[in-house]
Chains A and B, each alone.
Chain A
Amino acid sequence: MNSESATGKKILPADLVSKKAEELDQIPDGELVAAYESFRDHEDAESGTYPNISRLYGTSLEREKDRRETRAQAETCNAEMQEWYEKARNEPCTWWLKNHLVAKHALKSCIACGVCTAQCPAAQYYPEYNPRTILDAALTQNEERLVELLKSDTLWYCGQCGSCKPKCSRENNLMGLISSLRFLAQLKGYHLCSVRGRQQYAMRHLCGGNLWNRACSLYFRNITAEGHPDFGPRYAKYQSEAEAQMVRLGANPDRPGHFGGRKLSPQTLAEFRSCLACGGTLVLWNQLEESAAEDATKNGISIDEYHIRVHREG
């Protein structure tokens, strides 16, 4: 993490909430994180809730803080799997297939019966999609073909439902293989070649932001009526009252508890983050940041604008 000394000027956390990423550049890492955390942990004593969480969620400030924290935690984390993934990104794709924990158990053989494709909901929706060819590319161990696959939209069509799994007479784990290859595509930066692959930068700050800050993949404020026009006016009404409705039903929006929306203690969050770091996940997240920054620069846009673009294109 940046070890610059404090600016001497007191940072008011509320002032940072509306700032863009480039406006936060000059604020040292420690001060930025401290400002975020003090704002987040301000408790409304009367209600026992943390009202500022809703103001921080989804902001440039939160994304910038996350970038700096994940970079810093990866730098100080002396984890075997972190080293493994750092090494793996420079190895051929064929090496990955033989060594990655999921990929190496995913493939047995293929008799080209096509049942995986026949059962596949994605193949029914995307006419050009044929998951059997992904399996075939992996089994042929042809590096050139694998690189082409990793740079394509084809890799990103699978809905990870697993409909293919119980049908395969050879017990291949195609959904696992695809997920594993997607991980590799991102590690190598190949996802930038595909519009669907670039969407992973949206996932990095949607699910990744939730995981890092709230130890959940989805948070009740993610699913806004504006973001989900397909859910219609009844959902819009529910969402406008979501917090009150959740409390009514026994959930815990931005407050302590076991159920939906809960605010976790710093200790639980620290343990969870450490599990992510020791398992090597931060190598991927930091690579996604590097790739996004590179692509944004190439396109002459800011990282905040790039973040909006990847949510919309495709």
Chain B
Amino acid sequence: MATVNLAPTTIKEIPENDFFLTPSCILGAVNPGTEVLISRIYDLLGLTWRAAGDRAESQCTCCTGFSSHGDLISIESTLLVTARLWSIAAELGLENITTACVTSFAIHTECLEMYEHEPGLHERVDRWLQQACGRRLQIPKHVVHASDIVYRYRNDLAHKLRYRLLDHETGRRLRVVDHVGCHYAKVFPEKAIGGAESCDVLAGLIRAWGGETVDYPERRHCCGMGFRQCAIRPNRGYTMACVLKKLDSMEPWQPDAILTNCPGCNLFLDKEQWAIQQMTGKTFDIPTLSYTELAGLLLGWDPYDVVGIQAHTVPVEPLLDKMGIAYDKSKEWLGKRVAGGT
């Protein structure tokens, strides 16, 4: 079967340095290593970054994204919450917002666009923000996702890698399928590297780090997280159906791993493989990793103490074995199959 290397068609201006990092609710809740790894990678690259407040007294809050798409938040409250974060960034002298979450990326971008399209909104939100918390609205220069920064520095990172996306015994390039978060590429496709159709933000990393990408048929299909769909138990069949559709579509290419940049996709493409195994008897066992987890593993950082592969349902250890990445086998997490056992 054919594989292709995709070139980006949308050129995006990605700032070089001085980032205000906003955390992600989902990553923080279920893939804590992935989120902390963003800061570790920024540090490794020697980039200057700050979060709101200091460690002892954080001023970081949610952007409201999950609740906004869960239909619980007025758009004006979302505008105020993002404006508060921008105001803190401006106090720190930072004009480049980098979000850990793709829905945050879309939320911040949507707010930026609204100020351009709605006459008088800037003045109104500035007035409300003063009323709400004594702050002033200050528009940032850039809103980018943390995966944009990693993409920008992908070749610099490639020089620092201890491992490559290669089978260490045969030299075969590992086949990694990407799944770009919908709220990175579809809500504002003109703000995504390569746009919605040929998004390169993850494929570019795979190529730069030695692997092979596949443009599988359902590459652009949503993971099915759906906010109220995944949060409310009776709605979860929708999520499972979307994940199954994607897994069935990528399976013929026998991918070694799935790469994501969205907290929800990283969660559901991984976790629902167990439910699908129970429902259909079909075991896919395709490890799902975020771009920071993959970078961390290739950099040789500890899989359990730094990267956090133990948070995954599909075991990552077989992928580590393929790449020759050393790990403490006594820490191995419940065997090497999604259903448990070896």
What CA separation (Å) do A165 and B23 show in the bound complex? 26
Chain B residues contacting A222 (CB-CB under 8 Å) are 29
What CA separation (Å) do A244 and B312 show in the bound complex? 16
- Residue on B nearest A281 in the bound complex, by CB: B77
What CA separation (Å) do A246 and B32 show in the bound complex? 6
> What is the CB-to-nearest-CB distance from A13 to chain B, in angstroms, rounded to a whole number?
24
A279 with B76, Cβ < 8 A, contacts A163-B182, A211-B62 known? yes
Which of A3-11, A32-40, A59-67, A266-274 contacts the other chain?
A: A266-274
A261 contacts partner chain B, Cβ-Cβ < 8 Å: yes
What CA separation (Å) do A79 and B231 show in the bound complex? 31
A275 with B80, Cβ < 8 A, contacts A217-B67, A264-B58 known? yes
B310 adjacent to A238 (CB under 8 Å): yes
A265 with B57, Cβ < 8 A, contacts A207-B72, A233-B334 known? yes
What CA separation (Å) do A28 and B8 show in the bound complex? 61
B128 adjacent to A80 (CB under 8 Å): yes
A interface secondary structure, majority: helix
Highest count of chain A CB atoms <10 Å: which of B21, B76, B189, B271: B76
A211 adjacent to B118 (CB under 8 Å): no
Chain A residues contacting B27 (CB-CB under 8 Å) are 260
B64 adjacent to A211 (CB under 8 Å): yes
B169 contacts partner chain A, Cβ-Cβ < 8 Å: no
B222 contacts partner chain A, Cβ-Cβ < 8 Å: yes
B75 contacts partner chain A, Cβ-Cβ < 8 Å: yes
A279 adjacent to B231 (CB under 8 Å): no
Q: Which B residues, 65 to 91, have Cβ-Cβ distances below 8 Å to chain A?
A: 65-81, 84
What CA separation (Å) do A211 and B70 show in the bound complex? 12
B72 adjacent to A281 (CB under 8 Å): yes
> What is the CB-to-nearest-CB distance from A41 to chain B, in angstroms, rounded to a whole number?
14
What CA separation (Å) do A218 and B65 show in the bound complex? 10
Q: Which B residues, 2 to 37, have Cβ-Cβ distances below 8 Å to chain A?
A: 21, 23, 25-30, 32-33, 35-36
Residues of B that sit less than 8 Å from A by CB: 21, 23, 25-30, 32-33, 35-36, 51-53, 55-62, 64-81, 84, 106, 114, 117-118, 121, 124, 128-129, 131-133, 135, 182-183, 185-187, 189, 195-197, 220-222, 224-229, 231-238, 240-242, 245, 271-272, 274-275, 278, 304-306, 308, 310-313, 315, 333-334, 338-340
Provide 13 A-B residue pairs closer than 8 Å at the C-beta atoms, listed in order of the A residue.
A182-B71, A199-B234, A203-B70, A220-B28, A220-B29, A245-B310, A245-B311, A249-B32, A257-B55, A258-B58, A278-B129, A280-B76, A314-B232
Residues of A that sit less than 8 Å from B by CB: 79-81, 85, 100-102, 105, 121-122, 124-126, 156, 159-163, 165-166, 175, 179-180, 182-183, 186, 196, 199-200, 202-204, 206-208, 210-211, 215-220, 222-223, 227-228, 230-235, 237-238, 245-246, 248-252, 256-262, 264-265, 268, 270-272, 274-281, 283-285, 311-314
